[in-house]
Amino acid sequence: MSTTAYKTLPTIPATAAGPLGGYTVLDLTRALAGPHAGMMMGDLGARVIKVESPETGDDTRSWGPPFVGPEDNPQATYFLSCNRNKESIALDLKSKEGKETLSRLIERSDVLMENFRTGVLERLGFGVEALHELNPRLVILSITGFGHDGPESHRSGYDQILQGEAGLMSLTGSGPDDPQRVGVPIADLLSGMYGAYGALAALLERERTGKGQVVRTSLLAAIVGVHAFQGTRSTVAGQVPQAQGNHHPSIAPYGLFGCRNGKVQISVGSQKLWLAFAAAFGLEGTRPEFATNADRVKNHSLLLAEIEAAFAHHEPADLLAKLDAAGIPAGKVRTLDEVYAWDQVAAQGLLVDVEHPVLGKITLPGPPLRFFDPATEAETTRTAHTAPPVLDADGSSIRTWLDEETEARP
């Protein structure tokens, strides 16, 4: 464990503090769903205090490889992915001192985030009633795997299990007999995003009522919440959607197509685009098999063969240029190193450089939101970011802050 001192978040100019500047978020979560929610709040300018178990800290500090840094103090890149813009304090929540410190933090926080199994906080003495006795204005975000009630609420929730249980894997893969998980922990990430969204809504309501409330979501709810048109295919049309690879089930042509020495993606989402596409590549756009989108979906195998025959003599770069000239939405499949080297990604502020106490200067994928003041045409997005903290890096300074806050009270 590093002994490097790590200070609390730097003072950020008001014009670049983010919309949650002045709010304090108490992050009791671990792994990914909750930490991602907390990081989102930090990206928006909130002060996020991460409470971790002594000695081991967040589970993801040990999730690897890859690890980076010195052999005697390795840092997990998994942890680095979801804990920027936070401070860390280590507390034993079963001890008297840990509970007292947590109580003081609760009194001074606007939002508390937790993703314990149902009932754990109550057993520690911090059920909802106890939390609101300490701070009636506290917004409580609680994330579970399968939900807080119902016959299977007791089950532990891990991302891949929920991708399967909530139907996402049945929609993903080359075909019905090839279920695949999404390449990132999408159930965790979505539940964190929904959780942060819910916490922000509860903060807005608190402005009217003066009272905090409980926001609940789960990995199960998050996946069901993004079933989108596949969900209504099931609930309304009575169909059972299945995986069908890299082509859209309801729009054609829309997907990944082979060409000479590579592949490209196209999205022909309207009849006007279809006629332009057909004209550009010598296809008969009005032939009965392809006349409407429904016809093209029905005759997808024939359509795919004719398009790939038309693409066969084009290199990817030349094909993308021709598609662009015809006004057809298209793109290539990039590897992550290509994504992070892309000037468009840099232009959108999607990379941030931070100074880590062990690793030095590192580059992290950045926040996806930007904010602008239309009156001044100035960007008000948070611009000063901090690296994910080493364990208990801020314990001393947080306790000092709590003492100073206590002394300042009348």
Q: If 0-12 CB within 10 Å is exposed, 13-18 middle and 19+ buried, where does residue 213 land?
A: middle
Which letter does DSSP use for residue 67 in this model? Answer: E
**Alpha-carbon dihedral 295, 305, 335, 321, rounded to 10 degrees:** -90
Beta bridge pairs of residue 362: 354
Q: Are strands 24-27 and 47-52 parallel, antiparallel or unpaired?
A: parallel
Query: Beta-strand (E) ranges in 317-396?
Result: 330-331, 351-356, 360-365, 372-373, 378-379
Query: Which residue in 336, 346, 333 sits closest to 77, CA to CA?
Result: 336
Hey, how many other C-beta atoms are within 10 angstroms of the C-beta on 191?
31
Q: b or e along 332-354 (b: 16 or more beta carbons within 10 Å of the residue's beta carbon)?
A: eeeeeeeeeeeeebeeeebebeb
Q: Is residue 30 within 8 Å of residue 59, measured between CB atoms?
A: yes
Q: If 0-12 CB within 10 Å is exposed, 13-18 middle and 19+ buried, where does residue 248 land?
A: middle
CA distance 34 to 31: 7
Structure-token pair, residue 393 = 């890096």
CA distance 221 to 194: 9
188 assigned to active site: yes
Q: Is 50 helix (H, G, I), strand (E, B) or coil?
A: strand
Beta bridge pairs of residue 397: none
CA distance 338 to 317: 15
Q: Which one from 43, 159, 188, 392 is the annotated catalytic residue?
A: 188
Q: Catalytic residue positions? A: 188
